[in-house]
Amino acid sequence: MELWQRRGIGILSIGGGAIGVAAGLQLILSRSNPIEWIFCLAFIAIYAWGVWSGTKFLEGDDRALRPLLKYWALQVPTFGSPILGYLLASGFNATVTYQFWPSRISGNMMLGSSFNYSLMQEGTPWSIGVNLFALVVTVWLYRVFGGLAPDNSPKQTAQSLCD
């Protein structure tokens, strides 16, 4: 991996995570419902995890790859429904969403961090989407590190499993 690539992913993870923590703290202080506090605390914890894993990754610790990969993978899906909705973005967001009824496709790009959740919001349309930027980062991290080999254990092949 090139140094600029490690720095880019590390900085997006740290900066996006820090902005997410700050936004979550600001939101939690403005809410009075304990259920909303739980959601905000969960997102704050995810963003803090991104800051930690991004810092370790920037320091060259390849053991941080697994948590960093999971952090970026959590940003790939977005969905909405009258029952539950979810969006998480850190650093940069390029999302394409399909709304089922009325049928439409929309897109969104943003530099920065954001999270959105909904619970039992009557009238919210059913939708599903993907954060294309997070998907590219996740696939790229997985491919660069050869399927997560940096856990200090040898990769198992189909042949070695049969022996």
- Average pLDDT (94-122) is 93
Chain centroid to Cα 118, Å, comes to 17
40, exposed or middle or buried, with CB in 10 Å at 0-12, 13-18, 19+? buried
Please state the domain count of the chain. Answer: 1
- Maximum mean pLDDT: which of 43-57, 61-75, 141-155: 43-57
Scan for tokens 């704050």, then name that residue: 44
Read off the pLDDT band of 148 (50, 70, 90): low
* Cβ atoms of residues 81 and 37 within 8 Å: no
Mean pLDDT of 28-52: 93
- 117-130 pLDDT, tens digit per residue, is 998 899 899 999 99
Residue 159's pLDDT band (boundaries 50, 70, 90)? Answer: very low
Indicate the pLDDT class of residue 61, thresholds 50, 70 and 90.
confident
For residue 136, is pLDDT > 90? yes
- Of the candidates 24, 60, 58, the one whose C-alpha atom is nearest the C-alpha of residue 44 is 24
Mean pLDDT for 120-144 is: 93
Q: What is the pLDDT of residue 60?
A: 87
Mean pLDDT of the chain: 88
pTM (global) more than 0.75: yes
Structural domain boundaries enclosing 51: 3-162
